[in-house]
Structure 1
Amino acid sequence: MNVPYRFVKPGFTIGILIAVLLITVAVGAYPIDSKVVTTLDRTVLPVAVPSTSPAILPYEVSLYSNNGYGNWEYGDGLGYEKRLDLLSPLYNNTTGTNSGKLLRFFDMTDIHIIDEETPAQAIYYGYMGGESSGYSPVMLSTTQVLDAAVQTINALHKEEPFDFGISLGDAANNEQYNEIRWYIDVLDGKTINPDSGVKDDPVPGPLNDYQDEYKAAGLNTSIPWYQVLGNHDHNWIGTNPPDDYLKTNYTGEYILNMGNIFTDPSGIKSRGLYMGSIDGRTVYGEIIGVGNVSDFRTPPKVLAADPDRRVLSVSEWMGEFFNTTSHPMGHGFNRSDAEAGIAYYSFEPTPDMPIKVIVLDDTQPATDADAGGYGHGSLDQKQFDWLVSELDQGQADGKLMIIAAHIPVGVEGSGSSLDEYMAWSSVAEISEQQLLDKLHEYPNLILWIAGHRHFNTITPQVSPDPDHPELGFWEVETSSLRDFPQQFRTFDIVRNSDNTISIFTTNVDPAVKEGTIAAQSRSYGVAAMEIFNSTLPYLPSGSYNAELVKPLSLEMQEKIQNYGTPVIP
């Protein structure tokens, strides 16, 4: 590599230049498995922990493998379950055939890109048990998992192109600048240094530990991708707007002193527990500075402070999506709305297809009343009025409509202790029932997609009027890339010959290659599920593939009868 002399700045020594060149050459990329398939072809199945294995604690990562935690194998594929819940009981499902494909896209959600060395996290709530959202070792390698998912998407795109992709929120785990930059830079295909504070290298050499710099593949540049705001993108660990004490803590050295926000009525004003951090010099990400304040002689610190850990407001967070090399610029947001912190918008994926996507911000704003944390769903009157206007216009224009939001609406709880923190807010200006009642007025609304709860669930939002089944719509949730099963989804919307449409929704496991950091993360995800005794639907794989049939109004039956590329049997 020749470097002309005129490009060498004064004072830039030849020794420094050589060092820079050596670092550049050393940075490589992580490969994925050569076999890229969906869960239609194979599933990831946890291998049961032997009955003779002792119970271990979440932070005892070095004991996972030898005690049978985190093992997995490939299992058989999972076909589509045909769902007719929205249709009249008189519907005859034997006459229709798939005639024309209208749209193909993917969604991913709850990536939770984590700066594991930040002093402002909540490890205390999970390292001994409790909530895996507070701690599990998957937090060490979130950027590498995203990179593997992106490469998997690219491979699927070569086989059958996507019209677009959308990320449904919680891109960052803790609203930090460096977290959202890593996220966007992975999608843009930049060189990623997933380290903060001082440089750490637990295992000497390149591409062999979670702190190593690497070159992300980047999403195929022909795929436009869009972004949704999540509660973790603008709240401390997704639960509360940060106060001045928290904001100072993020960029400092001292590990956060916080009480138990789930039991103490003082919430984030409570004190008495050091929340802990990760020692990035260690192979297994050993925990430092966690426990009762009374157990420490002096306040614990992280290895180094870092100004890039600073908190981003919603406006600042949105602004980062204009610093990108992929498209569209802003990834759905426009500059004026970004300056105002308005994180909802609509777009039409393809100019020659009557389909409209409406993106909501249904997270709780800082101005919302605290009703047990800020992880609930919420809409204010202003956004609701905008939503009604968008739905009215889409219906009048004869467009099929999809709503994308971070938090689902009208779904049953999973039985988890976190359910009360994840449901629709009891103090929202627009109640959940008010929202559902309005949505059921639009026969062209076909789909609501969401994340937030970290598992794959499909809910039929059946029409309240049996004589008009077309007023129902499907709600599809997608699991997190952070926690098992670490999947994203593809969607294929197909016109049928019997005046219905089918939405084929398919789970996809990132095609991780054995020996890579992403593959290790999958093992950690399986182990965390086993150790925390997590309750997931559709075990053992956590996957659910379905053909979701939606009846159309007479007007839309006529309008779309000639749309779509032919479906090959």
Structure 2
Amino acid sequence: MPAFSRRQFISGASSVAAAASLAALDGRFASAAARDRALAESAARAVRAEGTTLEQVATPGGDGPYKRLRSGPGWPLLVREDLAKAGAGRDARRTALACFVQFTDLHLADTESPVRFEYLAPFNDSAHRPQETLTVRGASSLVERINSLSAGPFTGVPFSLVMATGDNTDNHEKIELDWYLSVMSGGTVTPNSGDPHRYEGVQNSGNAAYWNPESSFRDSYKAKGFPEVPGFLTAAGRPLRAPGLRTPWYSTVGNHDDSIEGTLPDLGLLHSLYTGGRKLEGCDEDDAAKLAQALRDDPAEAVLRLAELLKSAGPVRHITPDGRREPFTPAEFARAHLDPAYTGPGPAGHGFTASAADSGRLYYTFPVAPGVLGISLDTTNPAGFADGSIGTAQLRWLESVLRSRSGHWYDGDGRVVRGGPGSELVIVFSHHTSGSMGNLLPDPHHPFEGRHDGGELVALLQRYPNVVAWVNGHTHRNQIIAHGHAVPERAFWEINTASHIDFPQHARVIEITDNGDGTLSLFTTLVESAARYGTDFGDTSDAGLAALYRELSYNDPYARPAAKLGAAGDHNTELLLARPAG
């Protein structure tokens, strides 16, 4: 990618002070007038704000329990100087180094699958979502947005790639993987399993615990203002022509791509239940509470409880068996990415190689831009639980890669070790965050290998000054953390982005620039899907369903949208960092 001069843009010194002075922990600004000034100054620094949250943001309105979404004021750029000071006039000197997009936690969900825990929603907000039949349409609408933008808002440089940082599927089923790969590469997707002519899930069960959108039956969701939408389920399951990304894309694996509902170890015990014809739509509250507790504390017990519930509890719905619901293995995950049917704009394999398909080793390196290396990690733990860690073999591989791309680094005692003649900037990608990598259960496939937590990974990355960012997902929350305040050369930014199944349904554009004064800037700009903000309960077109997907996610009674939204410093930011020497 050629360097891109910023000389045609105005100096941003005044906007630095304005945006920083408006920041508050809850994401609000001192006044509407101050926010408007900051928005104007942010837009002046950008090449283009349209189509991003710099321009407008989905905002709830109305007095009833069910909130309608509308277009609200955008979020200004906030300059964060946690790790380096912002120099005056840097916009005029700025040169672009990299520009890419992060998707995360798409959770393309087969909602008719027998191995789902919808009845645990009161105990686990991810067990059932009223919008989950629309995940394919929501993801396709996000792809439309990225295609319409095509370049970074602050550099104008075209996107070099899109990285999806895990939980691309919801229950690691082969049919979900097909939907994900088709949405990313383009093609016809039919987001329906079992009987191709009808929906066979909890949302037409007549059970008051779920939103029954096509029925006038007053379920618990309609008591909270949810609408009746005639034809909703039929429309949700009809074929969709996904445009596919126009930009090369890569995949990182997440826990939902690796285990049962992202929590239980896949030991092959439930495969016949996945593909069978019995779907549990509810259970006794005491049984549900015990299963929810086992999912948190004891994956093995949870597998046994789930199997017993599916065999004996009720109400059980008899549905159409479907072999496409069979879970995929890590090796099959990689192999599917190598299928020429899913190449799209490339690259072939989307990060995975034939060797990865043979071994199931799902970590790799790839070029982000000239002089910028990407490292995709596998932070899932096959032993179960949602949180992650990495094994010793992967940790050693990571260190060997970092050493091979670093001009110098620090040993365990803090002494400088000289490496090769120069360095590449490094961006690490993973599904889990530093704070969600405390799951140190032994890997059942490598029981004698050690596991390493997020703290160890942070410490390792800080030994290599050319590491500038760690980009991840998993928490379904926007959060940006500065690591390494004490020693600027050993600092980096951790950039965590909210999911695209739960509100606020964000993706993130990340641009890296050299400021010509010994600092780098990482611009992070949140984007929403191309769906319109207003909804029409009588409109079940693809556009109407994409809009409803976002609005339903905001109103999910078990979700916590305010917590997932993050604060102003987690939204549209300029993250300053000392440029590594050599």
Give TM-score, length-normalised by structure 1: 0.75
Distance 1:244 1:355, change over 3 A: closer
Residue by residue over 1:202-253, the C-alpha shift from the partner in whole angstroms, topping out at 9 and shown as x without a partner, is 7899997201112111111xx2111100000010000012234311100001
d(CA) in 1 for partners of 2:335 and 2:461?
31
| Corresponding residue number in structure 1 for 2:170 | 173
Counterpart of 2:106 (choices 94, 111, 132) is 111
Structure 2 residue 176 is the aligned partner of structure 1 residue 150: no
Measure, in 1, the Cα distance between the counterparts of 2:241 and 2:522. Answer: 35
2:343 to 325, 334, 341: 325
Q: Is the 8 A contact 1:36 1:152 kept in 2?
A: no
| Greater per-residue helix proportion | 2
Look up the equivalent residue of 2:58 and give its one-letter code.
V
State the shift of 1:96 in Å. 3.4
1:232 aligns with 2:256: yes
Cα deviation code 1:287-315 (max 9, x no counterpart): xxxxx95555xxx2342010000011111
- Structure-2 change in CA distance of 1:92 and 1:104 (3 Å): closer
Match of 2:431 in 1: 406
Change (3 A) 1:69 1:365: same
The correspondence for 2:506, drawn from 466, 474, 487, is: 487
The aligned counterpart of 2:181 is 184
Q: Displacement of 1:376 after TM fit? A: 1.6
1:136 to 129, 153, 164: 129
Secondary structure of 1:261's aligned partner? helix
* 1:124 maps to 2:114: no
The answer to whether the 8 Å contact 1:207/1:214 transfers is no
Equivalent residue, structure 1, for 2:26:
none
- Pick aligned residue for 2:363 from 344, 362, 365: 344
Contact 1:102/1:494 (8 A) holds in 2: yes
Match of 1:263 in 2: 293
Q: 1:105 to 1:213 in 2, by over 3 A?
A: same
Whole-angstrom distance in 1 between the partners of 2:324 and 2:124? 27
Which structure 2 residues correspond to residues 430-469 of structure 1 after superposition, within 5 A? Answer: 430-463=452-485, 466=486, 468-469=487-488
Asked if residue 386 in structure 1 is aligned to residue 400 in structure 2, the reply is no
Give the 5 Å matches for 1:187-206. 187-200=184-197
1:304 matches 2:332: no
Deviations 1:462-520 (A, max 9, x none): 25xx3x31211000011111000111000111110211110000100101045421111
Q: Structure 1 295/348 Cα, relative in aligned 2: closer, same or farther at 3 Å? A: closer
Alignment partner, residue 332 of structure 2: 316
Q: Which residue of 1 aligns with 2:239?
A: 213
Is 2:384 the partner of 1:362? no
Could you tell me how far apart the structure 2 residues matched to 1:310 and 1:163 are? 34
Are the aligned partners of 1:172 and 1:183 in contact in 2 as well (CA < 8 Å)? yes
Please list the CA deviations of residues 511-557 of structure 1 after superposition, one character each: whole Å capped at 9, or x if unmatched: 104542111111110111x55455515469997111001101332xx
Q: Residue 258 of structure 2 contacts residue 380 of structure 2 at CA under 8 Å; is this kept in 1? A: no
Q: 1:492 to 1:92 in 2, by over 3 A?
A: closer
**Residues 1:139 and 1:96: Cα distance change in structure 2 (over 3 Å):** same
Contact 2:521 2:577 in 1 (8 A): yes
* Pairwise CA distance, 1:459: 0.4
The SS at the match of 1:270 is helix
Please point out which of 439, 444, 457 is paired with 1:425: 439
Deviation for aligned residue 1:130: 2.9
Counterparts of 2:99 and 2:560, CA distance in 1: 35
Q: What's the counterpart of residue 44 of structure 1? A: 58
What is the number of residues matched between the two proteins? 455
2:246 matches 1:243: no
Matching residue of 2:526: 507
What is aligned with 2:69? 72
**TM-score by structure 2 length?**
0.73
Moved more, 390-399 or 438-447: 390-399
CA 1:39/1:320 → structure 2, altered by over 3 Å: closer, same or farther? same
Match of 2:88 in 1: 94
Is the contact made by 1:178 and 1:308 (CA closer than 8 Å) also made in structure 2?
Answer: yes
More divergent stretch after superposition (475-484 vs 425-434): 425-434
Q: 1:274 to 1:140 in 2, by over 3 A?
A: farther
1:453 Cα deviation after fit? 0.5
3-state DSSP of counterpart to 2:406: helix
Deviation of the 1:79 alpha carbon: 1.3
Worse-superposed segment, 138-147 or 546-555 = 546-555
**Alpha-carbon deviation of 1:321?**
0.4
Aligned partner letter, 2:270: L
Cross-structure match for 1:61: none
- Kept after mapping to 1: 8 A contact 2:259/2:266: yes
Cα offset for 1:48? 5.7
Q: Hey, what's the Cα distance between the residues in 2 that align with 1:192 and 1:226?
A: 20
Match 1:522 to one of 550, 562, 572: 550
CA contact (8 A) 2:478 2:566 kept: no
